[in-house]
Amino acid sequence: MKLWEGRFSAPMSADADSFNESLSFDKKLYQADIAASVAHATMLGEQNIIAPQEAQAICDGLKEILAEIENGTLAVAGAEDIHSFVEGELVRRIGDAGKKLHTARSRNDQVATDMRLYVRGSIDGAIALLRDLTETLLTRAHESLRYIMPGFTHLRKAQPITCGQYFLAYAEMFLRDLDRFSALRARMNVMPLGSAALAGTSYPIDREITRKLLKFDEISQNSLDAVSDRDFVAEYAFNASLVMAHLSRLCEDTILYTSDEFGYWTIPDEYSTGSSIMPQKKNPDLPELVRGKTGRVYGHLLALLATLKGLPLAYNKDLQEDKEGFFDTETTLFSCVSIYTALMKKMKLNVNVMYEAAGGGFSTATDVADYLAKKGVPFRDAHAITGKLVRYCIDKKTTLDSIPLSVFQEMSHVFEKDVLAVVTVRVSAEGRNSVGGSSQEAARKNLYSVRRRLKKY
Ligand code: ARG
């Protein structure tokens, strides 16, 4: 039985019905749908659009349906979509009063409201998970503030950095993601209910009542826009895409750093996988999967943007296509952030390997050039002199921190004994003490700053 079949002389064919249906996926909206219907019925009763007893019967019936879906005694099946299912079930239970629920309402403002409620809850879920992840990174940063590791550009060793600063870089990214989700929550908490099919309604509804009941901050001001606006779903998809981009970079670092060639980190056995043929292998499947899933989250964003493009005002059934992509985005985002939080909590840091590696690749060469420049040599000349020193080390197969002072002085008389400390990785990392730099002190300030900004969430 369809909500709209009065106008038709033949029932919908089975193939058309199954193509058209959305219950198989929009049943996830059942809580939102029932909450919105309870608010709507309450308002209809308070405004005397329907009798208060009828409103009461509707609300009681809806709550019963909710309880039965939650405890598994009522299977959500056999209707076109979640809205038809709930209404049909209500009418089956309470009869004619149930048929009044849809007064002054359309499935168009109903689905727009349901999606807002669901996405709002999902934003709160994303914020909680991102907070955990950022806190985990803060903990790792705190315990590794004094450790030294190589910093890279172009995936070539560039300068020694503190490990603390490394983890804080990711904390900054996820903090921006938190900001984005929280700004989205504030922007999207606007109620479309009361827009009806597209143009509002002639019933004396009071949208303030439903707004308060559903905890929206504002009421939409244009019904044509309100029923067809899915910007908030697209923004969610974009925010999720950027989280995945950040996670995927962390995955890439993880895969490299845990390889035999790098050996900086070790993935704990509980989070590793093996090979079915090569007995010696320990594979980074989890980071690879998270990196891989990033593509499908981007895909959902692009699919939705393409769906929204070119839709004539107001509601069009194309909008039903927002849901599967959104639900998959949510599930993927939540599972990836959760697994990475667990993984980062347990990741073993091979402090000595990182320290040894930090000295490779002449990573303190910039410090040598800076040393000369600070003593009055123009930086360009200092760069050239240091370049020659590096050349010398390459030819002699030695390193900057192993050559004697006499070699330095052959290249420039400005070098004095203190240069021998400058070329060590610790002095190098600790020397970069500018705000936001890699020294322990600067990284500690960064840590306090991230911790303070995280408190908001
Ligand atoms: N399942 C539909 C959706 O997701 C519900 C709204 C149906 N509205 C309509 N006019 N057919 O968008």
Percent of the chain surpassing pLDDT 70: 100
For the stretch 374-401, pLDDT in tens is 999 999 999 999 999 999 999 999 999 9
How many other C-beta atoms lie within 10 A of the C-beta of residue 186? 10
Q: Which atom of ligand 1 is nearest to the CA of 315?
A: 10
What whole-number distance in Å separates Cα of residue 104 and Cα of residue 44? 9
Specify the residue for token string 């709209």: 4
In 67-97, which positions are buried (b, 16+ CB within 10 angstroms) versus exposed (e)?
eebeeeebebeebbbbbbbbbbbbbeebeeb
Question: Coil, strand or helix: which one is 151?
Answer: strand
| pLDDT, tens digit, 9 for 90 and up, residues 110-158 | 999 999 999 999 999 999 999 999 999 999 999 999 999 999 999 999 9
The one-character DSSP state at 157 is: E
Per residue in 406-417, pLDDT (tens digit) is 999 999 999 999
Alpha helices, DSSP H, located in 309-375:
322-346, 351-358, 365-374
Q: Is 105 in the pocket of ligand 1 (CB under 6 A)?
A: no
Mean pLDDT for the chain overall:
96
CA of 3 to the centre of ligand 1 (A): 12
User: In this model, does residue 4 exceed pLDDT 80?
Assistant: no
The answer to whether residue 18 is catalytic is no
The number of CA neighbours under 13 Å toward the Cβ of 253 is 22
For residue 76, CA distances in Å to 56, 72, 79, 110, 315 come to 23, 9, 8, 18, 25
What pLDDT, on a 0 to 100 scale, did the predictor assign at position 5? 78
In terms of Cα–Cα distance, which of 190, 195, 182 is closest to 218? 190
- Residue with token string 């590096």: 390
Say if ligand 1 is within 6 A of residue 341 CB.
no
Share of the chain above pLDDT 90, in %: 94
Q: Catalytic: 142?
A: no
Residue 283 has what DSSP assignment?
A: B
Q: What is d(CA 91, CA 56) in angstroms, rounded to the nearest whole number?
A: 14
Nearest to 350 by CA among 144, 137, 138, 133: 144
Q: Ligand 1: does its nearest atom lie under 6 Å from the Cβ of 81?
A: yes
- Is the CB of 22 within 6 Å of ligand 1? yes
Helix, strand, coil fractions of the chain, as percent rounded to 5: 65, 5, 30
Indicate whether this model's pTM tops 0.75. yes
Q: How far is it, in rounded angstroms, from Cα 190 to Cα 192?
A: 7
Q: Are 1 and 92 in contact (CB under 8 A)?
A: no
Average pLDDT over residues 97-122: 98
C-beta atoms surrounding 289 within 10 Å: 15
Q: Is 316 in the pocket of ligand 1 (CB under 6 A)?
A: no
If you search the block for the tokens 């004994």, which residue do you land on?
417
Phi, psi of 173 (to 5 degrees): -65, -45
The C-alpha angle with vertex 422 and arms to 440 and 170, in degrees rounded to 5, equals: 30
Choose the residue to mutate in 320, 323, 327 for probing ligand 1, maximizing ligand atoms within 8 Å of C-beta: 320
**pLDDT tier at 1, thresholds 50, 70, 90:** low
What span, in angstroms and rounded, lies between the C-alpha atoms of 257 and 353?
Answer: 11
Q: Is 319 in the pocket of ligand 1 (CB under 6 A)?
A: yes
In angstroms, what is the span from residue 230 Cα to ligand 1's centroid? 13
* 275 band by pLDDT with thresholds 50, 70 and 90: confident
Strand 218-219 relative to strand 190-191: parallel, antiparallel, unpaired? parallel
Q: What is the pLDDT of residue 279?
A: 82
Q: Is a pLDDT exceeding 90 seen at residue 282?
A: no
User: Is the model's pLDDT at 199 over the cut of 70?
Assistant: yes
Give the CB-side neighbour count of residue 120, counting CA atoms within 13 A.
Answer: 19
SS3 139: helix
pLDDT at 273: 87
Phi and psi angles of residue 151, each rounded to the nearest 5 degrees, phi first: -100, 145
Q: Measure the CA–CA gap between 326 and 307, rounded to whole angstroms.
A: 13
Let me know: does 439 contact 449? Beta carbons within 8 Å.
no
Of 123-127, 208-212, 294-298, 423-427, the range with the lowest mean pLDDT is 423-427
Copy the structure tokens of residue 78. Answer: 């056999």
How many Å lie between the centroid of ligand 1 and the Cα of residue 301?
21
| Residue whose CA lies nearest to ligand 1 atom number 7 | 107
Nearest alpha carbon, ligand 1 atom 11: 317
Residue that the structure tokens 């995945």 belong to: 244
Residue 323: predicted pLDDT = 98
The Å distance, Cα 5 to ligand 1 centre, comes to 15
Mean pLDDT of 158-164: 96
| Residue 126: half-sphere exposure toward Cβ, Cα within 13 Å | 32
- Of ligand 1's listed atoms, the one at least distance from the Cα of 319 is 12
pLDDT tens per residue across span 325-379:
999 999 999 999 999 999 999 999 999 999 999 998 899 999 999 999 999 999 9
* Cα–Cα distances in angstroms (integers) from residue 128 to residues 37, 94, 122, 139, 418, in the given order: 28, 40, 10, 17, 50
The finding on whether 33 has its CB within 6 A of some atom of ligand 1 is no
